[in-house]
Amino acid sequence: MKTDIFHLQIIPIADILVHEEFDESRAYPLVERLKKEKQLVNPILVASLTDGKFLQLDGMNRFSAFKILGLKSIVCQIIDYNDQEEVELSSWSHLFKASKDEFLAFLSQKCGFIVKQGNIDQVGHRYIKEEGMGRLITLCCSDGGVYLVSTNGNLLEKIDKLNQLVSYYKEKIVRDVLPPHPNAADIDVLFREHPQNNMMIVFPTFTRHQIVEIVKKNKLFPAGVTRHIIRRRCLNVHAPLSLFDKKKSIGEQNKELESMLLKRSFRLYEEPTIYFE
């Protein structure tokens, strides 16, 4: 169903290229929830590629849960990836608990990173240097320490390094968001909101071109690093799992989806919204 406001469509899972690893700690509980509720509440977000494929932008765990359940299609909100007013790129921060000394040793000795002490003014929004030596991530500690973590190589090699880094704590990731230009108080707030954690990784923001390039090179970002902020995001669609019956063609599934949506009213909120889950 395509309107002037949104575009919702059921797409074969085989036609969707993912750009990130899936988070087992989130995907498997979602499988159980889907079995119980028998509906997909929110569509995943995808962008059209030039070869008839689609790029997954958000909803990796929903996508993975559908694959685990053996479903062959999923309802998607299709986004114009080139429309900078419709989609804004940002990044998540990862909070976790670890020994500071052991983690710093892991970064320098196991990963081969160059780790230098920094300051709070260097924590803010930034992009990655695609070639040569450059900062990969920023590490903030609850004791006020800031460390700049750099590495050499090209973009693909740096994504491999990111995956190696996240593997250290991937079973205990807490995601949150820092403002574009954080100060010490902003960082302190996150640590107070997540008191069980003492370390925070602040990732760079990747461009559209970089994300597409990584996917076309058959690489994946770590789970929960890239963040896509959509201006008109469709929520609470509540598509029943029976809609994705493998015996129905994609055309039949989309006709049923459109019929279902035409019976529903919707509201467009242009202002930022606080949504209680």
Give the domain extent around 182: 92-204
The answer to the question of residue 184 being in a domain is yes
Report the C-alpha gap between 238 and 57 in whole angstroms. Answer: 20
| Residues 99 and 82 both lie in one domain | no
Looking at residue 55, which CATH number applies to its domain? 3.90.1530.10
Q: Check: CB of residue 74 under 8 Å from CB of residue 244.
A: yes
Residues listed for the chain: 277
Residue 189 phi, psi (nearest 5): -60, -45
The answer to the question of residue 268 being in a domain is no
**pLDDT(277) > 70:** no
Please count the structural domains in the chain.
2
| Residues 119 and 168 both lie in one domain | yes
pLDDT at 210: 96
| Residues 181 and 196 both lie in one domain | yes
Residue with tokens 């509440």: 41
pLDDT (tens digit per residue) in 223-266 = 999 999 998 899 999 999 999 998 999 999 999 999 999 999 88
pLDDT at 115: 97
pLDDT at 25: 78
| Residues 119 and 75 both lie in one domain | no
| Residues 81 and 98 both lie in one domain | no
pLDDT at 269: 83
| Residues 79 and 97 both lie in one domain | no
**Average pLDDT for the chain:** 93
| Residues 192 and 154 both lie in one domain | yes
pLDDT at 272: 75
Single-letter amino acid code for the residue at 147: Y
